[in-house]
Amino acid sequence: MKRARDAWNRFWFEPGPAAALGICRVLFFGSLLLWQLRHDFSPWGAYSSVFWMPIWLFDTFSVPLLPASTIAAVQMIWKAALFFAAIGLFTRVAMVVAFVLGTYLMGLPHNFGQTQHFDTLVVFICGALAVSRAADAWSVDAWRAARRHPSAWPRPDDGEYTWPIRFVWVAMSMIFCAAGISKLRHSGLEWIFSDNLALLLQRQQYHISDGEPWTNWGIWVAAHPWVARGMAASSVAIETLFPLSLFSRHARRILVPAGLLFLVGIRALMGPTFEQFMLCYVFWIPWRTVLSRTGARVVSVSERRVQVDTRTADAPARPLPLRS
Amino acid sequence: MRRLFVNLVILGFIAGSAFDTITDQEHWPFSQYPMFSGTWTSPTFTWLRLFGVTDDGREFPLDANRYVAPFDQSRLPKALKQMLAKPDREAQIRTALPDLYARYEQLRREERHEGPPLAALRLYELEWTIHPDAANVDTPERRQLIAEVRP
């Protein structure tokens, strides 16, 4: 039991640099804002009630379909919150608003006849970041706080900067794995060894997807059964084995880029728009290493603090003020 | 206290995800991610599609998302299919099509698509036999008119 608890704590709360999480926050909210900037949710509010087929979340909590003008106002606040969350100004409030309003707005289209799955990960990440300390670096808030309390900044490495990143890893792994399990549960190995994928790739050319495939290469793949079956086998393997990337560095080096290529492949050959899901890959980048190699300020603040303390060896180390 | 809270957040997420995966259910944003999990064996398939009718009687498919946005070519047919499965299917479709017509015209006025003004909007069920090159995308084997609306 103790070993399991230690392993759990080591995985989630291994001390990490605030900068890594801060960079992820900037890139995640920044790219999400850019992606959503031109997206208008308000037309959903103008449809008749016959189109309203509420999904579990909206049905259970009686979340209403708001009028178009109200949705327009809500999405303006949401996009402003994404901006503030990205630059790190009033970050806590911004991230909570981004999560709450984002859940409503991103969930809204799924109440109109079909639940699509491009944005669930985005919703979960917004939720995790909303309760994280992602603003302790690379944010206006941190810069202002450092000016007020220079001794307390930059923040030392802490598990608080690790768990949100690992949360994304686990969330992405569970999503990929669940998709793989669904295929095996509903179709078994027939999903791989039949003409299923070939037919699927051909069918997607008939303007039936939420996005047009980037290419018509799916036709070529479908015409070569062993290529199609190889792709099907790779798809199921990547999806079901993806959780290995949580525990093995070697598996991570293969499965994480393979998962990204898989999403790009779906978009290119079949059409479904997984761009939002792809944005979440910023959390897989080893920012500590990247910053070290690019000569940026050393990420490991605790080491830096030791150096400072060495220079002023006679002065007692000042305790760091706790943040709520 | 803070550590306990974070652990509860993590465990809540894992439990919700695992529940949907194990029970093969969907509680968005939790899901079992069933997309494309079925096996396709039939070379034929049917799909609902809107067609616009111009003043001179010419008919053309609204087969691009820009004609039906914010719907898309995946979600809209599925929504319409659900309406057609209801006991009051005719009333449902009679309410839905004017909305889609109005939306098409709004998008046209905003120059979000290049389509012509419509004299009518029709809903068809199309059936294709899949062609290796999708060469018959514009010529389905069967077309069945479901409903028509005129302004």
* pLDDT band per the 50, 70, 90 thresholds, residue A293: confident
Q: Is the pLDDT of residue A172 over 90?
A: yes
Give dist(CA A222, CA A229) in Å, integer: 9
Residue A123 near chain B (CB below 8 Å):
yes
Give A228-254 pLDDT, tens digit per residue: 999 999 999 999 999 999 999 999 999
Residue of B nearest to A204 (CA): B134
DSSP A58-75: HHHTT-----HHHHHHHH
Residue A153 vs residue A7, higher pLDDT: A7
pLDDT of residue A297: 55
Instruction: Kindly report the pTM of this predicted structure.
Output: 0.91
Tell which A residues from 76 to 105 touch B, by Cβ distance under 8 Å: 103
Report chain A's mean pLDDT, rounded to a whole number.
91
Test the B interface: residue of A51, A63, A103, A194 with most B CBs within 10 Å = A51
Report chain B's mean pLDDT, rounded to a whole number.
96
Q: How far is CA A233 from the centre of its chain?
A: 25
CB contacts of A175 in chain B (<8 Å) are 17, 31, 33
Dihedral, CA atoms, A322, B4, B10, B16, nearest 10 degrees?
-150
- The percent of residues in chain A predicted with pLDDT above 90, rounded, is 85
CB contacts of B34 in chain A (<8 Å) are 182, 186
Residue A50 near chain B (CB below 8 Å):
yes
For residue A110, the distance in angstroms to the closest alpha carbon of chain B comes to: 9
* pLDDT band per the 50, 70, 90 thresholds, residue A321: very low
Test the A interface: residue of B86, B109, B130 with most A CBs within 10 Å = B130
Give A71-121 pLDDT, tens digit per residue: 999 999 999 999 999 999 999 999 999 999 999 999 999 999 999 999 999
Give B76-126 pLDDT, tens digit per residue: 999 999 999 999 999 999 999 999 999 999 999 999 999 999 999 999 999
Residue A267 near chain B (CB below 8 Å):
no
Residues in chain B: 151
- Output the CA angle A172-A178-A181, nearest 5 degrees: 145
ipTM of model over 0.85: yes
Q: Is the pLDDT of residue B23 over 70?
A: yes
Give dist(CA A61, CA B47) in Å, integer: 33
Residue A228 near chain B (CB below 8 Å):
no
Across A146-155, A182-191, B133-142, least confident range: A146-155
* pLDDT band per the 50, 70, 90 thresholds, residue A305: very low
Q: Give chain A's end-to-end CA distance (angstroms, integer).
A: 30
CB contacts of A195 in chain B (<8 Å) are 40-41
pLDDT of residue A25: 98
The minimal CB distance from A112 to the residues B13, B79, B92 is found for: B79
> Contact B21/A177, CB-based, under 8 Å?
yes
Give dist(CA B131, CA A140) in Å, integer: 57
A-B CB pairs within 8 A amount to: 182
Give dist(CA A106, CA A95) in Å, integer: 15
CB contacts of A181 in chain B (<8 Å) are 21, 32
* pLDDT band per the 50, 70, 90 thresholds, residue A295: low
The minimal CB distance from A210 to the residues B24, B32, B75 is found for: B75
Residue A122, Cβ neighbours under 10 Å: how many? 21
Encoding tokens for residue A246? 């949580």
Residue A11 vs residue A311, higher pLDDT: A11
pLDDT of residue A323: 40
Q: How far is CA A28 from the centre of its chain?
A: 7
Give A183-233 pLDDT, tens digit per residue: 999 999 999 999 999 999 999 999 999 999 999 999 999 999 999 999 999
Give B42-72 pLDDT, tens digit per residue: 999 999 999 999 999 999 999 999 999 999 9
Encoding tokens for residue A315? 């002065």
The minimal CB distance from B70 to the residues A109, A199, A223 is found for: A109
Please state at what angle helix A120-130 crosses helix A163-187, rounded to 10 degrees.
150
- B50 beta partners: B123
> Contact B47/A174, CB-based, under 8 Å?
no
The minimal CB distance from A48 to the residues B3, B24, B96 is found for: B96
* pLDDT band per the 50, 70, 90 thresholds, residue A137: very high
- Strands B59-61, B120-129: pairing is unpaired
Give dist(CA B144, CA A282) in Å, integer: 48
* pLDDT band per the 50, 70, 90 thresholds, residue A296: low
3-state secondary structure of B119: coil
Q: Is the pLDDT of residue A304 over 60?
A: no
